Amino acid sequence: MKSILISGCSTGIGRATALFFSAKGYRVFAGVRRSGDAESLRAADEAGNIEPVMLDVTSAEQRQAMADHLDGTLGDAGLDVLVNNAGVGKGAPLEFVDPEMVRQTFEVNVMGPLLLTQSLLPLVRKARGRIITVGSIGGKIAGPINGAYGMSKFAVEAFCDVLRAELAPQGIEVSLIEPGPIETPMLLGVPEMVEEVKATMPTEAMTLYGDQIRKVAGYFASLGKRASPPLEVARVIERAAESARPKTRYRVTVDAKIGVVLKWLLPDRAFDFVNDLQMR
């Protein structure tokens, strides 16, 4: 019975991935932050292979407790797959963004995968397993009003590139998943987040950036209508976990694939123009 640890399983991609791998017969350690989310996962787990574990990736105490638990449970067999999935995303114009919000975004989206990987790498090494990180197409294409999230996801790209090179001699494969629009609470909650930004920004910010904020809100609302289900990402994670020679990057959704091609083909200002047109 192969084992997999997935962070951020309360909702969205993490929850779908935990249930998907449980149905495949994996022993799933599903990181959640609330006891209610643990109970909800157990109730939905028809295969009965999920063990929820309390895991806030920013908590050193919870990371250590989880690593100790897995070490005692899995022993010399080690951990077959680590999926760094937990993430957050909020936006605001960079001129007025709350520095504490940026720090918190980096704590979860960048330091989270780094520190969780540090905690579990000895167990992954025992199994000669895989490390898979869920990034975002936002790590390739950065847009207005979404700076903190984009900055963090660009950093995740570098994290995976470096980790892959460092672990290659040890036979440990590292893959990065780059989803486009997915039906998750993060994406579907963008309109509410935008209203919060508008309510907390000073008058000057709305004068300078109000039009951009409204365009971005409308654009994300349209993305939500054509977003793909989280199960689509879970199936791609399966390929990264089980392929004999996994890809270094997997792009999920047509939007992500087209966006990367356009970013590669077009000069920066031409791409900015096309990106602005999409938001109108």
Tell me, rounded to whole angstroms, the distance of Cα 42 from its chain centroid. Answer: 22
Exposed, middle or buried: residue 279 (CB in 10 Å: 0-12, 13-18, 19+)?
Answer: middle
Bridge partners, 4 (sequence order): 28, 81
What is the rounded end-to-end Cα distance, in angstroms, of the chain? 50
Closest CA to 36 of 24, 47, 52: 52
Q: Which of 149, 209, 219, 250 is catalytic?
A: 149
- Distance separating alpha carbons of residues 117 and 253, to the nearest angstrom: 27
Structure tokens at 216: 């971005």
Contact 92/101 with Cβ under 8 angstroms?
A: yes
Return the DSSP state at 244.
S
Annotation says 219 is catalytic = no
Residue whose pair of structure tokens reads 């898979």 in the numeric block: 132
Q: Which residues are catalytic?
A: 149
